[in-house]
Structures are given as C-alpha cells and as structure tokens.
Amino acid sequence: MINEIISMNGYGPYVWSAFVFTLSSFASLYLITKLQLLKEQKRYIAKFGSLNESKTAVAREQKINKEILLNTVITKI
C-alpha cells in the first residue's frame, strides 16, 4: 500500500521531487520575508524609538509612518 503511494505507477520520483521543491521554495520565501520584516522593524525602532514627544507627533502624521503603524505590530526583541 505505502509502496504504491510512493511509486505512483512510476511517476513517484517526479511528483515527490516537485512536491519537495515547492515546499522548500515556500519555506525559503517565508524565511526571507520574515528576516526582512525583522530588519525593517529594527531600523524603524532605531530611527523613531528614541524621539521626544514633539518629534513623535510629527513622525506619526507622515503618511508612510501612518501606514506602517496601522499595518504592523512592533515587537521588541
């Protein structure tokens, strides 16, 4: 039974290699995206984490910063 699933009438090596390739591609894309997000969060915290209240108010009014603040949750690592 298991041998039939693995071999798939001779097409098993093609099917399983395609499955492994797709799974590894998705995993690598996820990891790359996650690492880029963490990098950008660190840059954002470094730039805006130590501002005084007046500079923080100005930064929050900027359009790009509004989008960042609405779409992400900054977690401290």
The reported pTM is 0.57
Does 31 map to a domain?
yes
Q: Which domain holds residue 64?
A: 10-71
User: In this predicted structure, what is the pLDDT of residue 38?
Assistant: 93
| Torsional class of 52: left (φ above 0), alpha (ψ -120 to 50), beta (otherwise) | beta
Does 1 map to a domain?
no
Does 4 map to a domain?
no
User: In this predicted structure, what is the pLDDT of residue 71?
Assistant: 66
Q: What are phi and psi for residue 54, nearest 5 degrees?
A: -70, -40
Q: What is the pLDDT along the chain (77 residues), one digit of tens a residue?
A: 888 888 888 898 999 999 999 999 999 999 999 999 999 989 888 877 776 777 777 777 777 767 776 766 554 44
Does 57 map to a domain?
yes
Does 14 map to a domain?
yes
Domain count, the chain: 1
User: In this predicted structure, what is the pLDDT of residue 73?
Assistant: 54
Does 25 map to a domain?
yes
Does 5 map to a domain?
no
Sign, CA dihedral 22-25-31-32, equals negative
